[in-house]
Amino acid sequence: MQTQRFLVTGGSQGIGAAIVAAARQAGHQVVFTGRNQAQMAAVATTTGAHGVTADVAVDADNARTVETCVSVMGGIDVLINNAGTGYSAEIGALDVDRMRQLFGINVFGMVDLTNRVVPLMKAQASGDIVNLASTSGTKGAKGGTAYSGSKWAVRGISQCWQAELRPHGIRVVSICPSEVQTNWMGKTGRNNPNKLYAEDIAATIMAGLSMPRRVLWTELAIFANNPWKED
């Protein structure tokens, strides 16, 4: 794959940071966003990527992020919509305001940013948009109204964008990881060496991007091969 210009949201930790590292190791230019300045500085120092302090749920931040990409890299070839948050609660005890905040990040923030990036990609008649959904968006689960609902929305929106953007040479793929060993929702006791790592998701995404332009993965669920194995 020739040198590309990446924008990665939520790139200061977890899957996002792994994607930033993988893209930089492959020789690509990368701008990434995040909110934790200490974590962002660490990623920028380690990878050489350009960090932008921004909240995807804030329209003005998204505008500034795109402006930075144009200024620093001259445009955007690959958009990785990775920024996301979680919230679990059963119906009857659901904090609807928290659900609105979650959708503001997981859904509306993704849409607003992509809405600003797509005109650039259409003008160059090429681009890749990778939306991080989840296997939680393929099935319902107890407490999943907010988070699973948002990831169902990501999958459906991705399908709409595929129908709209394929004629413009722009590929859109929805990636659905299973449980990944990251500090998700502040939980640190989830590690199991046989489950997925953030680097596994990054490697899968990079493999998909390197496929011939005529090839489109519309959606891909990623599971650990044997997470039940006992070492």
Nearest alpha carbon to residue 18 among 137, 148, 180: 180
Percent of the chain that is helix, strand, coil (3-state, to 5):
45, 15, 35
Counting DSSP H helices and E strands in the chain, the numbers are 7, 7
Q: Note if 87 is an active site residue.
A: no
Nearest alpha carbon to residue 16 among 170, 183, 227: 183
How far is Cα 43 from Cα 76, in angstroms, rounded to an integer?
Answer: 20
The type of residue at 36 is N
Sheet containing strand 50-53, strands side by side: 50-53, 29-34, 5-8, 78-81, 127-132, 170-177, 219-222
Q: Which of 6, 32, 87, 147 is catalytic?
A: 147
Other beta carbons within 10 Å of 166: 13
Please measure the distance between the N-terminal and C-terminal CA atoms of the chain and give it in whole angstroms. 37
Nearest alpha carbon to residue 9 among 100, 132, 99, 93: 132
Residues assigned a catalytic role:
147
